[in-house]
Amino acid sequence: MANPADGAGSRKSRGSRTAAEYAMPNEGSAVMNEDELKKLKADKVVDARGMACPGPLLEAKKAITGIPVGGVMEVLSSDEGTNNDIPMWTKKMQYEHLGTVEDAGFWRLFVKKTK
C-alpha cells in the first residue's frame, strides 16, 4: 500500500492521514492494525459510552446515514456487547469493520461506509 503521507500538497499536517487514506480495502479484508486505527481520523465519532445494548448499535445506525460512501465512523462504547454487534451489523449491511481498539474503560470501533 502506498504511503499517502508522502504526497506533496497534502491537506493534513505532519503526517496525519484522512479516514479515506487509511480505509483502503486489502484483499477483501479491511481490518487495520492497532497503530493505524489509533492514527485514523474518522469522519464522524459516535460517543455511546455509558449506553447499554442496543444503544451503541442504534446510535451507529442513525449516524452512518450522514457519512458519505467511503467515509469512516468511529463508535465509542463501554458496552462489551458492542464488540459483537457492530461487526455483525457491518457484515449484514456490507460495510467494512476496520477494527477495534481497546482504550481505558471503553472500545473504539471503526466502520467504513462502502455503499
Classify residue 106: in a domain, yes or no.
yes
Is the link from the previous residue into 56 a cis peptide, with omega within 30 of 0?
no
pTM of the model: 0.73
Per-residue confidence (pLDDT) for residue 33, from 0 to 100: 93
Per-residue confidence (pLDDT) for residue 12, from 0 to 100: 37
Per-residue confidence (pLDDT) for residue 65, from 0 to 100: 96
Residue among 75, 78, 79 nearest 100 (CA): 75
Residues annotated as catalytic (active site), given as ranges: 53
Classify residue 2: in a domain, yes or no.
no
**Total domain count, the chain:** 1
Classify residue 10: in a domain, yes or no.
no
Classify residue 46: in a domain, yes or no.
yes
Classify residue 14: in a domain, yes or no.
no
Classify residue 86: in a domain, yes or no.
yes
| Structural domain span for residue 46 | 30-112
pLDDT in tens, the chain (115 residues): 444 444 444 333 334 444 444 343 333 345 899 999 999 999 999 999 999 999 999 999 999 999 999 999 999 999 999 999 999 999 999 999 999 999 999 999 999 999 9
Distance separating alpha carbons of residues 71 and 52, to the nearest angstrom: 26
Per-residue confidence (pLDDT) for residue 31, from 0 to 100: 82
Classify residue 83: in a domain, yes or no.
yes
Classify residue 12: in a domain, yes or no.
no
Distance separating alpha carbons of residues 108 and 42, to the nearest angstrom: 11
CATH number at residue 73: 3.30.110.40
